[in-house]
């Protein structure tokens, strides 16, 4: 008996999208950014929590940048960063209500990830040199002049507002994909798997072992520990 074309079109397969280290990074970063917003706008006695949260975020971001070269296929920058033509083609497709199935980040989402990582790195990095002129200053503030401390503190505040705006856009894009494109981006980031048409699944590329992620993160933490003691 031949297969019904309609059934074949509806046949789906669960494929691996995100490895465990990438998912942990994503949700830890979400939690830490929320905590940073709360501690920055709370009592001044919370600033020590804000500082340690900043160290944690900086370690995570540095790790993610390295994981973009040493991680699993979908986590690597080479897998999702595309040139202007690909981005433009994808954007035009969205305007024409075309929603191609993509495993991992789409061309627009890939560049938004890089922009967010760089903005978070700027935010956390300037925090190392910032001062609230009351009780708390960054661990590296003593390495630069007071003028530079003032400038980097201003950048620290401005970049956080830009980061919040980018987070809002990111959340909006997630809902847009869910309700307009019928593409659930949240569940794969929780479970690591996504259902796609079986005809598009193909052969799965193996993920990198979690031990590599742990070793890489410990190296990052060690490097930060040395830098913060300068």
* 174 belongs to a structural domain: yes
* 184 belongs to a structural domain: yes
* 130 belongs to a structural domain: yes
What is the token pair recorded at 57? 């975020």
pLDDT band at 2 (very low <50, low <70, confident <90, very high): very low
pLDDT band at 218 (very low <50, low <70, confident <90, very high): very high
Give first-to-last CA distance, the chain, whole Å: 74
Residue 11: per-residue pLDDT = 85
Res. 5: pLDDT tops 90? no
pLDDT in tens, 159-206: 999 999 999 999 998 888 788 777 888 999 999 998 888 776 666 778
Please name which of 102, 107, 110 lies closest in space to residue 90, comparing C-alpha atoms: 107
Distance in angstroms (rounded) separating the CA atoms of residues 64 and 60: 6
**Checking DSSP bridges between strand 193-197 and strand 12-16, what pairing results, if any?**
antiparallel
Burial group, residue 6, by CB count within 10 angstroms (0-12, 13-18, 19+): exposed
Within the chain, what is the greatest distance between any pair of CA atoms?
80
Res. 16: pLDDT tops 50? yes
Check if the beta carbon of residue 57 is closer than 8 Å to that of residue 124.
yes
Res. 4: pLDDT tops 60? no
* 85 belongs to a structural domain: yes
Residue 14: per-residue pLDDT = 87
Residue 8: per-residue pLDDT = 45
Distance in angstroms (rounded) separating the CA atoms of residues 117 and 84: 20
What is the token pair recorded at 11? 């046949």
Task: Look up the CATH number of the domain holding residue 74.
Answer: 1.20.950.20
What is the token pair recorded at 165? 């705006």
* 5 belongs to a structural domain: no
* 37 belongs to a structural domain: yes
> Domain count of the chain?
1
Check if the beta carbon of residue 153 is closer than 8 Å to that of residue 47.
no
Residue 42: per-residue pLDDT = 79
pLDDT in tens, 46-94: 888 999 999 999 999 999 999 999 999 999 999 999 999 988 888 887 7
* 2 belongs to a structural domain: no
Among the ranges 7-16, 168-177, 211-220, which has the highest mean pLDDT value? Answer: 211-220
* 6 belongs to a structural domain: no
Distance in angstroms (rounded) separating the CA atoms of residues 207 and 209: 6
Q: Which domain does 88 fall in, by range?
A: 14-228
């Amino acid at each position: 008996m031949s297969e019904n074309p309609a059934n074949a079109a509806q046949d789906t397969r669960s494929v691996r999208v995100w490895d465990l280290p990438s998912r942990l990074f994503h949700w830890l970063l979400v939690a830490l950014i929320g905590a940073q917003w709360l501690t920055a706008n709370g009592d001044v006695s919370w600033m020590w929590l804000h500082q340690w949260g900043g160290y944690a975020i900086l370690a995570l971001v540095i790790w993610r940048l390295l994981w973009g070269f040493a991680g699993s296929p979908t986590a690597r920058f080479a897998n999702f960063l595309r040139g202007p033509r690909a981005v433009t083609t994808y954007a035009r497709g969205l305007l024409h209500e075309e929603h191609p199935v993509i495993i991992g980040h789409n061309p627009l989402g890939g560049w938004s990830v890089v922009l967010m990582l760089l903005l978070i790195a700027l935010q956390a990095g300037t925090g190392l040199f910032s001062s609230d002129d009351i009780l708390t200053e960054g661990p590296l503030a003593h390495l630069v002049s007071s003028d530079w401390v003032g400038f980097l503190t201003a950048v620290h505040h401005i970049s956080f507002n830009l980061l919040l705006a980018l987070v809002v856009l990111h959340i909006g894009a997630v809902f847009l994909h869910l309700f307009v494109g019928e593409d659930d981006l949240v569940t794969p980031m929780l479970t690591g798997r996504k259902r796609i048409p079986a005809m598009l699944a193909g052969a799965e590329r193996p993920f990198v072992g979690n031990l590599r992620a742990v070793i890489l993160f410990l190296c990052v933490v060690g490097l930060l520990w040395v830098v913060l003691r300068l």
